[in-house]
Amino acid sequence: MVPGREIRVRGQVQGVGFRPFVWQLAREFGLGGEVLNDAEGVLIRAAGGDLDGFQAALSARAPGLSRIDALEARDCRFDAVPETFAITASRGGAARTRVTPDAATCPDCLAEIAGGGRRQGYAFTNCTRCGPRFTILRGLPYDRAQTTMAGFAMCPSCRAEYGDPADRRFHAQPIACPDCGPRLWLERAGGVVAAGDPLALAADLLRQGGILAVKGLGGFHLACDAGNPATLDRLRRAKRRPAKPFALMLREADLTAVCTPSAADLARLRDPAAPIVLVLGTGALPEAVAPGMTRLGVMLPYTPLHHLLLAAVARPLVMTSGNLSGAPQAVGNDEARAMLDGLADAVLLHDREIARRLDDSVERADPPMILRRARGRVPGTLPLPEGFGGAPQVLALGGQMKSAICLVKGGQALLSHHLGDLDEADSWDAFLGAIADYGALFDHRPALVACDAHPGYRATQHAGTLGLPVIEVQHHHAHLAACLAENGWPCAGGPVAGIVLDGTGYGPDGTVWGGELLLGDYRGVERVGHLAPAPLVGGDAAAREPWRNLLVRLDAAGLADSADRWLADRPLAALRAAARAGLNAPASSSAGRLFDAVAAALGLCAGRQSYEGEAAMRLEALAEGCPADRPYRFAGLDPAPAFRAMMGDIEAGVPHPLISARFHAGLARAFADPARALVETGRARAVALSGGCFQNARLLAETLAALRGVKVLIHRETPANDGGLALGQAVIAAAGELPQMESF
């Protein structure tokens, strides 16, 4: 018998070329043995040579797409030193490994597509360094038979590459070429297949002002020439999307013609996740691309199909979700034919199925934040903070809007992709499907389920049907806990001051919360302060019509005469009576509605918003690049003095960008001052910023400036909005099952 070593590698180590990397290392360090994939990750058994050097190199030189969570080694014995080192067949079992997100086309594959080899111009070229992963995966372990590529038998050439450990396509599960892989075709109205090169036909249609539906990685996009105002108008009318910004896809060489990317923007754009990044525009494109916005949502082509299409069109394209406004994007060919009929002039299709619907991720680079966590970022996991080692398996169901679920298992939290608004029937179906899909894929068996405390949320109602103990979590506590968990705040780390600003959340006192200063941790919070409440006259209508919020804030500031003049065409007497009687006018501390009121005062979406957050987004854009010379003063957390100052500025003709900047700075300081006091008096050990309002880069920057010198926790990898709620719910539920530990 000879001594050897068994090494278990856990993390994102399948589908990233990890086994051939191990094979090459083993040859370099003179080892014999084997490496294989299984449901826990990668397993290595080796003997001979320099085992210590080999083990150190596993972490130090791991492939770029891999993420090692743990590397565990133990001694083992062999009858004799194996003569060779082999890559052996995968094994099944309980799923514990991480799955690799989809990755943008790598430079080597891109060179092949543009070159003269057998994959020249092939729209489905990939290798272990790039290509589809999660969007084609049906089960673990990650092998071709478990993907939507299972039906494509490899040709001899692809088989040779797949079987050669020295080739970058060794065990690249989606490997394909024109002889054996997926094919592309163009269909015109009525399902008529167009004769000719589908990419050339698609490019001609786009250049001529047409609208093209394109099947991508996680669903369909609707594409059109971003510089054609008439086509943009037609697309907006067809999608019933009058003002919400469109995303753009363009070649890197074309970026500076339409936007001014910073070094941080470029780094995000070039990331293998290839997200949509919000970049300052130049004004070169029609206003209809992103009405009222200074920043454009741009992404680089991330599949060979996109690269080929952009090269053929040679101009920036709108690349927006292939759906009707509010509904999930189409993923299947038949679904796209039915849903997009009348929206698109033609459909660019292929025959590789999409296993799960994934939107494009949306991100900012500075300050770094993920606004929508989706393709390229999921199903990446987050390690649970210190003290959560004994946490049970938890399923958390998130909120009503920007829905996402979270699974806790084995010291990791897996926050799902963006699922949408659960009021939409298709989004509800996607939500139910995601629970089953993630549960089966990761062999998840929850001991309890966590949800929002709002009794009217569909996810909350669903929690009671699962036959598990239910932990209801207050909305803003969940926001705070999500920020703590992302930042690795220990379970016994002590209390923090949480500034949680969003649209609405169900408060335990029966009012609608949304502008909160909390003090606490995973196990509980105290409401230390909040924005002075104002009635939401008309209930849900107040979220759609910003003028309603302006009315109540002006009245509260003693400016009823101003409201009478500014809103003379509105039914003010009836709304004031409803507010006094509390008739469909619940009291609310919502920061989101405060933003709406200020936007309405400046004439932004004063009547009605065409999409959620439009008024606040326009208000943020208005302040772009404008310093705040004199922040508006709040009386504690009462904005009445700020409204009096603001209305005076408006009547004095102060430029609206400066008014917006003064409001952002004033709101930031109003919350930062008492939060700082909690830290300085020893009641809190840090400040955490969460809630959808902190997607606003200007508000975030002003708040960080006002908290300079204080430890501040912010969201970077999980959304500050309701897309991160499930993470907070999950860790709160898990903390409740753990023994109490003293804070350090």
d(CA 412, CA 665): 37
Catalogue the active-site residues: 19, 37
Half-sphere exposure of 297 (CA within 13 A, CB side): 20
Task: Single out the residue of 657, 652, 605 nearest to residue 629, CA to CA.
Answer: 657
Inter-residue contact 336 to 330 (CB < 8 Å): yes
Phi-psi region of 653 (alpha: psi -120 to 50; beta: other; left: phi over 0): left
Give residue for tokens 């597509």.
Answer: 113
d(CA 110, CA 590): 48
Task: Single out the residue of 247, 228, 377, 263 nearest to residue 322, CA to CA.
Answer: 247
Q: Taking the CB of residue 120, how many other CB atoms lie within 10 A of it?
A: 12
Residue 660: burial class (beta carbons within 10 Å; 0-12, 13-18, 19+)? buried
d(CA 595, CA 319): 29
Inter-residue contact 714 to 496 (CB < 8 Å): no
Angle between helices 572-581 and 546-556 (to 10 degrees): 70
d(CA 302, CA 230): 27
d(CA 74, CA 60): 19
- For residue 134, the SS3 value is helix
Amino acid at 244: K
Q: Which two tokens stand for residue 680?
A: 């300085």
Residue 456: burial class (beta carbons within 10 Å; 0-12, 13-18, 19+)? exposed
**Burial per residue of 717-729, b for 16 or more beta-carbon CB atoms within 10 angstroms, e otherwise:** bbbbbbbbbbbbb
Inter-residue contact 350 to 184 (CB < 8 Å): yes
d(CA 167, CA 83): 22
- For residue 348, the SS3 value is strand
Instruction: Indicate the Cα dihedral angle 415, 417, 420, 425, nearest 10°.
Output: -100
